[in-house]
Structure 1
Amino acid sequence: MTSQHQITAVTPADYPRALEVWESSVRATHGFLTEADIQSLKPLVYDHCLTRMPLFCVRDDTETVIGFLGVDSPKIEALFIDPDWRGKGLGRQLVEYAIKDLDVELVDVNEQNEQAVGFYLHLGFEVALRSKRDGFGKPFPLLHLKLPG
Protein backbone atom coordinates (compact mmCIF):
# COMPACT_ATOMS: atom_id res chain seq x y z
CA MET A 1 0.00 0.00 0.00
CA THR A 2 1.23 3.48 -0.75
CA SER A 3 1.10 6.33 1.70
CA GLN A 4 -2.29 7.83 2.48
CA HIS A 5 -3.59 10.40 0.03
CA GLN A 6 -5.60 13.38 1.15
CA ILE A 7 -9.31 12.97 0.48
CA THR A 8 -10.98 16.08 -0.91
CA ALA A 9 -14.32 17.01 -2.41
CA VAL A 10 -14.80 16.66 -6.15
CA THR A 11 -15.57 20.01 -7.78
CA PRO A 12 -17.45 20.64 -11.04
CA ALA A 13 -14.07 21.30 -12.68
CA ASP A 14 -13.16 17.69 -11.80
CA TYR A 15 -16.21 16.12 -13.52
CA PRO A 16 -14.55 15.48 -16.91
CA ARG A 17 -11.59 13.75 -15.25
CA ALA A 18 -13.88 11.81 -12.90
CA LEU A 19 -15.81 10.58 -15.93
CA GLU A 20 -12.51 9.47 -17.50
CA VAL A 21 -11.67 7.58 -14.29
CA TRP A 22 -15.13 5.98 -14.34
CA GLU A 23 -14.75 4.86 -17.96
CA SER A 24 -11.21 3.50 -17.63
CA SER A 25 -12.11 1.73 -14.39
CA VAL A 26 -15.25 0.20 -15.92
CA ARG A 27 -13.28 -0.98 -18.94
CA ALA A 28 -10.76 -2.65 -16.60
CA THR A 29 -13.28 -4.30 -14.27
CA HIS A 30 -16.64 -4.69 -16.01
CA GLY A 31 -15.83 -7.15 -18.79
CA PHE A 32 -19.49 -8.10 -18.99
CA LEU A 33 -20.40 -4.67 -20.44
CA THR A 34 -20.35 -4.11 -24.18
CA GLU A 35 -19.06 -0.93 -25.80
CA ALA A 36 -22.70 0.06 -26.38
CA ASP A 37 -23.44 -0.48 -22.68
CA ILE A 38 -20.54 1.75 -21.65
CA GLN A 39 -21.53 4.50 -24.07
CA SER A 40 -25.18 4.38 -22.95
CA LEU A 41 -24.19 4.47 -19.27
CA LYS A 42 -21.78 7.39 -19.65
CA PRO A 43 -24.39 10.20 -19.72
CA LEU A 44 -26.34 8.50 -16.94
CA VAL A 45 -23.23 8.40 -14.77
CA TYR A 46 -22.60 12.06 -15.47
CA ASP A 47 -26.20 13.12 -14.80
CA HIS A 48 -27.06 10.80 -11.91
CA CYS A 49 -23.73 10.38 -10.17
CA LEU A 50 -21.25 13.14 -10.81
CA THR A 51 -23.65 16.06 -10.56
CA ARG A 52 -26.15 14.83 -7.98
CA MET A 53 -24.34 13.40 -4.99
CA PRO A 54 -21.46 14.25 -2.71
CA LEU A 55 -18.23 13.03 -4.30
CA PHE A 56 -14.85 12.65 -2.66
CA CYS A 57 -11.58 11.93 -4.39
CA VAL A 58 -7.91 11.20 -4.10
CA ARG A 59 -5.44 12.98 -6.36
CA ASP A 60 -1.91 12.36 -7.55
CA ASP A 61 0.91 14.82 -6.94
CA THR A 62 -0.20 16.88 -9.95
CA GLU A 63 -3.68 17.28 -8.36
CA THR A 64 -5.26 15.01 -10.99
CA VAL A 65 -8.18 12.89 -9.75
CA ILE A 66 -7.08 9.24 -9.62
CA GLY A 67 -10.04 7.79 -7.76
CA PHE A 68 -13.41 8.89 -6.46
CA LEU A 69 -16.23 7.87 -4.18
CA GLY A 70 -19.89 8.90 -4.39
CA VAL A 71 -22.05 8.63 -1.28
CA ASP A 72 -25.73 8.97 -0.53
CA SER A 73 -25.44 8.10 3.14
CA PRO A 74 -25.70 5.44 4.38
CA LYS A 75 -24.76 4.00 0.99
CA ILE A 76 -21.74 4.06 -1.28
CA GLU A 77 -23.15 4.81 -4.73
CA ALA A 78 -19.86 4.87 -6.66
CA LEU A 79 -16.24 3.88 -6.19
CA PHE A 80 -13.86 4.04 -9.13
CA ILE A 81 -10.07 4.02 -9.21
CA ASP A 82 -7.89 4.78 -12.23
CA PRO A 83 -6.56 1.37 -13.38
CA ASP A 84 -2.97 2.63 -13.15
CA TRP A 85 -3.56 3.23 -9.43
CA ARG A 86 -5.46 0.04 -8.56
CA GLY A 87 -3.96 -2.20 -5.90
CA LYS A 88 -2.31 0.68 -4.06
CA GLY A 89 -4.84 1.02 -1.23
CA LEU A 90 -6.82 3.95 -2.61
CA GLY A 91 -10.15 2.10 -2.75
CA ARG A 92 -9.69 0.87 0.81
CA GLN A 93 -8.78 4.38 1.96
CA LEU A 94 -11.90 5.86 0.36
CA VAL A 95 -14.20 3.14 1.74
CA GLU A 96 -12.73 3.44 5.24
CA TYR A 97 -13.25 7.21 5.03
CA ALA A 98 -16.87 6.64 3.98
CA ILE A 99 -17.50 4.25 6.87
CA LYS A 100 -15.79 6.37 9.52
CA ASP A 101 -16.66 9.92 8.44
CA LEU A 102 -19.80 9.54 6.32
CA ASP A 103 -21.61 6.77 8.28
CA VAL A 104 -21.72 4.41 5.31
CA GLU A 105 -22.90 0.85 5.87
CA LEU A 106 -24.34 -0.22 2.49
CA VAL A 107 -23.10 -0.69 -1.07
CA ASP A 108 -24.50 -2.31 -4.23
CA VAL A 109 -22.09 -4.18 -6.49
CA ASN A 110 -22.54 -5.71 -9.93
CA GLU A 111 -22.52 -9.44 -9.24
CA GLN A 112 -20.43 -10.02 -12.38
CA ASN A 113 -17.71 -7.67 -11.09
CA GLU A 114 -15.99 -10.37 -9.06
CA GLN A 115 -13.07 -8.12 -8.12
CA ALA A 116 -15.40 -5.57 -6.51
CA VAL A 117 -17.44 -8.25 -4.76
CA GLY A 118 -14.25 -9.73 -3.30
CA PHE A 119 -12.96 -6.28 -2.33
CA TYR A 120 -16.06 -5.38 -0.33
CA LEU A 121 -16.35 -8.82 1.28
CA HIS A 122 -12.69 -8.51 2.33
CA LEU A 123 -13.52 -5.16 3.96
CA GLY A 124 -16.24 -6.80 6.05
CA PHE A 125 -19.39 -6.23 4.00
CA GLU A 126 -21.86 -9.11 3.75
CA VAL A 127 -24.42 -9.99 1.07
CA ALA A 128 -27.90 -8.95 2.23
CA LEU A 129 -29.94 -9.24 -0.99
CA ARG A 130 -29.64 -9.85 -4.72
CA SER A 131 -31.48 -8.01 -7.50
CA LYS A 132 -31.81 -9.18 -11.11
CA ARG A 133 -31.29 -5.66 -12.51
CA ASP A 134 -29.00 -2.73 -11.79
CA GLY A 135 -30.10 0.71 -10.64
CA PHE A 136 -30.73 1.81 -14.23
CA GLY A 137 -33.01 -1.18 -14.89
CA LYS A 138 -30.40 -2.95 -17.02
CA PRO A 139 -30.11 -6.77 -16.80
CA PHE A 140 -26.95 -6.73 -14.68
CA PRO A 141 -27.60 -8.44 -11.32
CA LEU A 142 -26.66 -6.51 -8.19
CA LEU A 143 -25.55 -7.75 -4.82
CA HIS A 144 -26.75 -5.49 -2.01
CA LEU A 145 -24.04 -5.56 0.64
CA LYS A 146 -24.11 -4.27 4.21
CA LEU A 147 -21.77 -4.06 7.14
CA PRO A 148 -22.68 -6.44 9.97
CA GLY A 149 -24.26 -5.07 13.12
Structure 2
Amino acid sequence: MIRTFQPNDLERVMELWLSANGQAHDFIPHSHWEEYFDAVEALLPQASVFVWETNGRILGFLGLNGRTVEGLFVDASARSRGIGKALLDHAKQECGALTLRAYQKNEGAVRFYRREGFLIQGRQTDRETGETELILCWEQRRNAVP
Protein backbone atom coordinates (compact mmCIF):
# COMPACT_ATOMS: atom_id res chain seq x y z
CA MET A 1 0.00 0.00 0.00
CA ILE A 2 1.13 3.52 -0.75
CA ARG A 3 1.15 6.07 2.02
CA THR A 4 2.78 9.38 2.86
CA PHE A 5 6.23 9.34 4.45
CA GLN A 6 6.31 9.70 8.23
CA PRO A 7 9.36 10.91 10.22
CA ASN A 8 9.88 7.46 11.76
CA ASP A 9 10.31 6.06 8.20
CA LEU A 10 13.57 7.94 7.69
CA GLU A 11 15.99 5.23 8.80
CA ARG A 12 14.46 2.55 6.55
CA VAL A 13 14.08 4.94 3.59
CA MET A 14 17.73 5.96 3.84
CA GLU A 15 18.77 2.30 4.07
CA LEU A 16 16.87 1.69 0.82
CA TRP A 17 18.36 4.82 -0.76
CA LEU A 18 21.93 3.74 -0.04
CA SER A 19 21.58 0.10 -1.04
CA ALA A 20 19.55 0.76 -4.20
CA ASN A 21 21.93 3.47 -5.40
CA GLY A 22 24.87 1.15 -4.96
CA GLN A 23 23.12 -1.64 -6.85
CA ALA A 24 21.76 0.48 -9.71
CA HIS A 25 24.89 2.56 -10.20
CA ASP A 26 27.76 0.11 -10.11
CA PHE A 27 29.64 2.51 -12.41
CA ILE A 28 29.85 5.06 -9.56
CA PRO A 29 31.99 4.33 -6.49
CA HIS A 30 29.88 3.41 -3.46
CA SER A 31 31.80 6.05 -1.52
CA HIS A 32 30.00 8.71 -3.59
CA TRP A 33 26.63 7.69 -2.12
CA GLU A 34 28.09 7.43 1.38
CA GLU A 35 29.47 10.96 1.01
CA TYR A 36 26.01 12.36 0.22
CA PHE A 37 24.11 10.26 2.76
CA ASP A 38 23.87 12.96 5.48
CA ALA A 39 22.80 15.68 3.02
CA VAL A 40 20.07 13.48 1.52
CA GLU A 41 18.93 12.43 4.98
CA ALA A 42 18.53 16.10 5.94
CA LEU A 43 16.72 17.09 2.72
CA LEU A 44 14.48 14.07 2.26
CA PRO A 45 11.86 15.00 4.89
CA GLN A 46 11.37 18.33 3.10
CA ALA A 47 10.30 16.58 -0.12
CA SER A 48 6.98 14.94 -0.90
CA VAL A 49 7.76 11.30 -0.25
CA PHE A 50 5.48 8.33 -0.77
CA VAL A 51 6.35 4.89 0.56
CA TRP A 52 5.15 1.43 -0.37
CA GLU A 53 4.57 -0.61 2.76
CA THR A 54 3.74 -4.30 3.00
CA ASN A 55 3.15 -6.01 6.33
CA GLY A 56 4.70 -3.08 8.20
CA ARG A 57 7.88 -3.05 6.09
CA ILE A 58 8.78 -0.29 3.64
CA LEU A 59 9.76 -1.91 0.34
CA GLY A 60 10.02 1.20 -1.81
CA PHE A 61 9.68 4.95 -1.97
CA LEU A 62 9.44 7.85 -4.38
CA GLY A 63 10.53 11.40 -3.62
CA LEU A 64 9.15 14.47 -5.39
CA ASN A 65 10.39 18.03 -5.40
CA GLY A 66 7.49 19.81 -7.06
CA ARG A 67 7.05 17.90 -10.31
CA THR A 68 10.57 16.50 -10.31
CA VAL A 69 11.09 12.89 -9.32
CA GLU A 70 14.21 13.04 -7.18
CA GLY A 71 14.33 9.30 -6.69
CA LEU A 72 12.44 6.03 -7.00
CA PHE A 73 13.85 3.11 -5.06
CA VAL A 74 12.61 -0.43 -4.45
CA ASP A 75 14.18 -3.04 -2.19
CA ALA A 76 16.10 -5.66 -4.20
CA SER A 77 13.91 -8.44 -2.78
CA ALA A 78 10.74 -6.75 -4.04
CA ARG A 79 11.70 -5.62 -7.55
CA SER A 80 9.65 -6.60 -10.61
CA ARG A 81 6.46 -6.83 -8.55
CA GLY A 82 4.89 -3.55 -9.69
CA ILE A 83 5.91 -1.47 -6.68
CA GLY A 84 7.95 1.05 -8.67
CA LYS A 85 5.19 1.36 -11.27
CA ALA A 86 2.55 1.87 -8.57
CA LEU A 87 4.63 4.59 -6.89
CA LEU A 88 5.25 6.28 -10.24
CA ASP A 89 1.54 6.06 -11.16
CA HIS A 90 0.73 7.69 -7.82
CA ALA A 91 3.11 10.56 -8.61
CA LYS A 92 1.59 10.91 -12.09
CA GLN A 93 -1.88 11.25 -10.55
CA GLU A 94 -0.59 13.82 -8.06
CA CYS A 95 1.23 15.98 -10.61
CA GLY A 96 -0.03 15.47 -14.17
CA ALA A 97 3.52 16.10 -15.48
CA LEU A 98 6.87 14.84 -14.24
CA THR A 99 10.54 15.34 -14.96
CA LEU A 100 13.47 13.27 -13.77
CA ARG A 101 17.12 12.55 -14.44
CA ALA A 102 18.55 9.07 -14.87
CA TYR A 103 22.10 8.05 -15.57
CA GLN A 104 22.42 6.89 -19.17
CA LYS A 105 24.35 3.83 -17.96
CA ASN A 106 21.45 2.84 -15.70
CA GLU A 107 19.83 1.04 -18.62
CA GLY A 108 17.22 -0.75 -16.51
CA ALA A 109 15.88 2.52 -15.14
CA VAL A 110 15.90 4.18 -18.55
CA ARG A 111 13.94 1.24 -20.05
CA PHE A 112 11.47 1.39 -17.16
CA TYR A 113 10.81 5.12 -17.51
CA ARG A 114 10.52 4.91 -21.31
CA ARG A 115 8.02 2.04 -20.92
CA GLU A 116 6.07 4.25 -18.50
CA GLY A 117 5.70 6.99 -21.12
CA PHE A 118 8.67 9.22 -20.36
CA LEU A 119 10.44 10.85 -23.29
CA ILE A 120 14.09 11.81 -23.39
CA GLN A 121 14.24 15.61 -23.54
CA GLY A 122 17.98 16.12 -23.22
CA ARG A 123 21.31 15.09 -21.80
CA GLN A 124 23.69 16.66 -19.33
CA THR A 125 26.83 15.75 -17.45
CA ASP A 126 26.52 15.26 -13.71
CA ARG A 127 29.23 17.53 -12.28
CA GLU A 128 29.77 15.30 -9.26
CA THR A 129 30.26 11.99 -11.09
CA GLY A 130 31.14 13.01 -14.66
CA GLU A 131 28.43 10.62 -15.86
CA THR A 132 25.87 11.44 -18.55
CA GLU A 133 22.35 11.96 -17.26
CA LEU A 134 19.25 11.75 -19.40
CA ILE A 135 16.49 14.26 -18.74
CA LEU A 136 13.17 12.47 -19.07
CA CYS A 137 9.71 14.02 -19.05
CA TRP A 138 6.17 12.71 -18.86
CA GLU A 139 2.97 14.65 -19.36
CA GLN A 140 -0.59 13.46 -18.98
CA ARG A 141 -2.49 13.47 -22.23
CA ARG A 142 -5.34 15.91 -21.86
CA ASN A 143 -7.66 14.44 -24.50
CA ALA A 144 -6.77 10.79 -24.20
CA VAL A 145 -9.65 8.36 -24.42
CA PRO A 146 -9.72 6.10 -21.33
Aligned to 1:59: 53
Normalised TM-score (structure 1): 0.86
Contact kept? 2:51, 2:60, Cα under 8 Å: yes
1:54 deviates by: 1.0
Quick check: 1:146 aligned with 2:137?
yes
1:112 deviates by: 1.7
| Partner Cα distance (2:97, 2:23) in 1 | 25
Contact kept? 2:118, 2:136, Cα under 8 Å: yes
Contact kept? 1:75, 1:106, Cα under 8 Å: yes
* Percent pairwise identity: 26
More strand by share: 2
Normalised TM-score (structure 2): 0.88
Aligned length: 140
Q: Secondary structure at the match of 1:138?
A: coil
1:28 deviates by: 1.9
Aligned to 1:92: 85
Contact kept? 1:76, 1:104, Cα under 8 Å: no
Q: Which runs of 5+ in 1 are unaligned?
A: 1-5
| Partner Cα distance (2:121, 2:58) in 1 | 32
1:121 deviates by: 0.5
Aligned to 1:114: 107
- The 4+ residue runs of structure 1 with deviation greater than 6 A are none
